[in-house]
Chain A
Amino acid sequence: TQLLEQSPQFLSIQEGENLTVYCNSSSVFSSLQWYRQEPGEGPVLLVTVVTGGEVKKLKRLTFQFGDARKDSSLHITAAQPGDTGLYLCAGSTSGTYKYIFGTGTRLKVLA
């Protein structure tokens, strides 16, 4: 069974701090996505990475796909209260039509 583990599970930080969230698996993924979910809403896609070693930036968010395509990280610079939410990674292996979602990291940024 494919499993995507995220760490940490919970993170509470002060506004302005930096943080990194990790997504790890023993499986090789053809692509990996990151989503943010706010309370009462569905997850919203932030980014898709497909190439090993790929780095993508979205304003203060930096996403990296591991060289072996088994892991990924999300780094947030100067976190703001609006970054609060549940961050989910999701990976797809070749030949499948569905993405497996990670266990999630619940981030709270305090003003």
Chain B
Amino acid sequence: DSGVTQTPKHLITATGQRVTLRCSPRSGDLSVYWYQQSLDQGLQFLIQYYNGEERAKGNILERFSAQQFPDLHSELNLSSLELGDSALYFCASTLSSGGVYGYTFGSGTRLTVV
């Protein structure tokens, strides 16, 4: 157990729907990162939050949004889902705003859009 909790572990939904993925960071970590991993594109950085504020943005689609709450858990919202959104979505956390001490990853949410 890495200390980073992601729910749900699996999610199957239809095209056009909206889903919310949840992440609780490791105790004490202030920064949360979201990544998308698909078979042909590796691990793609989506967005980072630090202590409730957006810190960096990667290749995140406009249909996707995220937030970090006062208790530091984070949610990634995916809307108007398309088949191509099927992927593993990982959350990672770090103590500081940067990842110099390494990211602690959760076990991921496998999203299947049908």
1/0 contact string of B58-71 vs chain A (CB within 8 Å)? 10000000000000
Query: B107, A31: Cβ atoms under 8 Å?
Result: no
Query: B101, A48: Cβ atoms under 8 Å?
Result: yes
Query: What count of chain B residues pass the 8 Å CB interface test?
Result: 27
The interface of chain A, by Cβ under 8 A from chain B, is: 31, 33, 35, 40-45, 48, 50, 88, 90, 92, 96-104
| Contact partners of B43 in chain A: CB under 8 A | 43, 88, 101, 104
Query: B98, A42: Cβ atoms under 8 Å?
Result: no
Q: A31-B100, A103-B42 are in contact. Are A98 and B107 (CB under 8 A)?
A: no
Query: A92, B98: Cβ atoms under 8 Å?
Result: yes
Partner of A98, one of B4, B42, B58, B104: B58
Query: A98, B105: Cβ atoms under 8 Å?
Result: no
